[in-house]
Amino acid sequence: MPSTIVSDMSICDRKIKVTVTDNGDGTMAVDLESDCQALEGFSKNLKTITMEDVVSFETSRINREEVRGGMSMICVAPIMVYQAAWMECGMLSKRIFGKQGPIKIDMGEERSLFRTIVLHSKPNGRRTEADTEIYVDYSLN
């Protein structure tokens, strides 16, 4: 069954949908849909990946400049391909991923010297001990 991840990129006001499907021959099909013109090349250049592309970040086709095309360095589309591929390979639970709700990166509000990145949150917005918070120090100290 195909694995799909959808992102609403509020920072650039674009939407991205990545679907990865196991072809049964050691390869996986990648379908990337977006309203972002910068992702057109990436979508055309990355139609199939292998397990090696999924587990070896340094040599992965997903990261190659000629595959990425004109996309921004901070675009989440390549990471979405990794996540969907990991789900398709059984290395990331589809059930748990679906239950945890959206992955959110919020750099909008400062807390003294820190900004908060919330990686996991519940769909209803309530915080639990299972949520993960990372504090990134942007100070020069």
Nearest CA to 22 out of 75, 87, 93 is that of 87
Contacts (Cβ under 8 Å, ≥6 apart) of 94: 3, 87
What does the alpha-carbon distance between residue 134 and residue 104 come to, in Å, rounded to a whole number? 12
Contact call for residues 17 and 30 (beta carbons, < 8 A): no
pLDDT value at residue 8:
81
**3-state SS of 60-88?**
CHHHCHHHHCCCCCCCCHHHHHHHHHHHH
Write the pLDDT tens digit of every residue in 57-83. 999 999 999 999 889 888 999 999 999
Largest CA-CA distance found in the chain, in angstroms, rounded: 53
| 130-138 average pLDDT score | 40
Q: Which residue's entry shows tokens 């595959």? A: 67
Contact call for residues 106 and 118 (beta carbons, < 8 A): yes
Cα distances (Å, whole numbers) of residue 10 to 15, 45, 80: 8, 25, 16
pLDDT of 85 higher than 60: yes
Instruction: Write down the pTM of the prediction.
Output: 0.72
Average pLDDT of the chain?
78
Nearest CA to 3 out of 89, 116, 111 is that of 89
